[in-house]
Structure 1
């Protein structure tokens, strides 16, 4: 009788181990385990500060979304919240020094089906040997007034300022223009300085194609 009970216990223990292994592999391949780990390992910040919330109707439905520029430790973010104050989009800028900031935001029509949120971002000041400060334009596209289609694009520098330790000073300022150059109904993003320009053509779904013109 004891031998029978011992054999039955071993069978049950073996079945439980097999079932646990099956559950583990099912979670592993479904992504449940990785998802839990990602949530547990979410980055913690020592501090963050943000600008006031800026109301802008991004999807043209009459209810404005909220846009805010956030500094988290040494990182710069733009975050977009819906009308219920829930974050629906976030993007990390690339800063190059201190005093970086998002100083201008413009919502424009790109085509009959797409809008563009232009972000003018000062990348900060570096003062290692020479003084240097640059600004860059970023863009967030929205297709069909659907906020789930928002995609961010890192554009070119449109302003740079330098001063060498020998006293030489240089400043270059570019124009940022939206214009339908090829008359296809979709405006191009153009960054121009004198006779030189870089043209960015929107291909849809957050994708851009670049051309240089002299």
Structure 2
């Protein structure tokens, strides 16, 4: 009989604890103290690999101090990071490549108008190593207005290099010329990527937006 009463006592204690827990839970719902759905399970995933390549140094905004343009690989993906002279990160952008041996090998800084500067980034996208060989290079364009580095934007451009082994043992290679000049005479220079009769034009619109022809 004593054991029976002890069992009932323990059951009442745990029931009371459960009731108080439920009461606290509903109170948190009403007061908004509970975290939003998914927040308690939210995780921050850091890249497993963060390899930093040789950095480029340019005085991007003309203030007499050089910024650092730093190529990086994060989980096998190419990124570009820009830091000011105090090493504060002011921009980062992702560049999609086709091969594991992709790398930035050249950056060209030019003015396309009195208030717009662009940095043309030449990315070797690597090569495929399947049944057929293919290797490509592509430009990316960093643009900003009025020397304001807080408003840098990056736009993917066309290929400037394409080498391919095609069907029936055919092989071809195209090295495009990348030039900057005022195509339409409006006072703003365009980026022209040309190979023989192939011509691809990037025209700046405003606020980091480009139009391609």
TM-score where L is the length of structure 1: 0.80
- CA positional deviation for 1:128: 1.3
Question: Which one of 179, 192, 195 corresponds to residue 193 of structure 1?
Answer: 195
Paired residues in the alignment total 192
Q: Distance in 1 between matches of 2:74 and 2:60?
A: 25
Task: State whether residues 162 and 173 of structure 2, in contact with CA within 8 Å, keep that contact through their aligned partners in structure 1.
Answer: yes
Q: Distance in 2 between matches of 1:118 and 1:171?
A: 22
CA RMSD of aligned residues (A): 2.6
Q: Distance in 2 between matches of 1:164 and 1:207?
A: 35
Cα 1:53–1:158 change in 2 (3 A) is: closer
Task: State whether residues 131 and 162 of structure 1, in contact with CA within 8 Å, keep that contact through their aligned partners in structure 2.
Answer: yes
Q: Distance in 2 between matches of 1:42 and 1:55?
A: 31
Query: Residue in 1 aligned with 2:53?
Result: 51
Q: Which ranges in structure 1 are unaligned for 5 or more consecutive residues?
A: 1-11
Q: Distance in 2 between matches of 1:165 and 1:182?
A: 39
Query: Residue in 1 aligned with 2:20?
Result: none
Task: State whether residues 49 and 76 of structure 2, in contact with CA within 8 Å, keep that contact through their aligned partners in structure 1.
Answer: no
Q: Which ranges in structure 2 are unaligned for 5 or more consecutive residues?
A: 1-22
Q: Distance in 2 between matches of 1:196 and 1:164?
A: 19
**What SS is found at the alignment partner of 2:186?**
coil
Query: Residue in 2 aligned with 1:138?
Result: 140
Does 2:98 correspond to 1:96? yes
Q: Distance in 2 between matches of 1:150 and 1:194?
A: 32
Query: Residue in 2 aligned with 1:20?
Result: 31
Query: Residue in 2 aligned with 1:114?
Result: 116
Q: Distance in 2 between matches of 1:205 and 1:119?
A: 19
**What SS is found at the alignment partner of 2:61?**
coil
**What SS is found at the alignment partner of 1:111?**
coil
Cα deviation per residue 1:37-57 (whole Å; 9 max; x = unaligned)? 89x633312222212332111
**What SS is found at the alignment partner of 1:129?**
coil
Does 2:83 correspond to 1:81? yes
Show the 5 A alignment for 1:32-43: 41-43=43-45
Q: Which moved more, 1:41-50 or 1:189-198?
A: 41-50
Query: Residue in 2 aligned with 1:170?
Result: 172
Q: Distance in 2 between matches of 1:62 and 1:191?
A: 31
Q: Which has the larger radius of gyration?
A: 2
- CA positional deviation for 1:82: 1.0
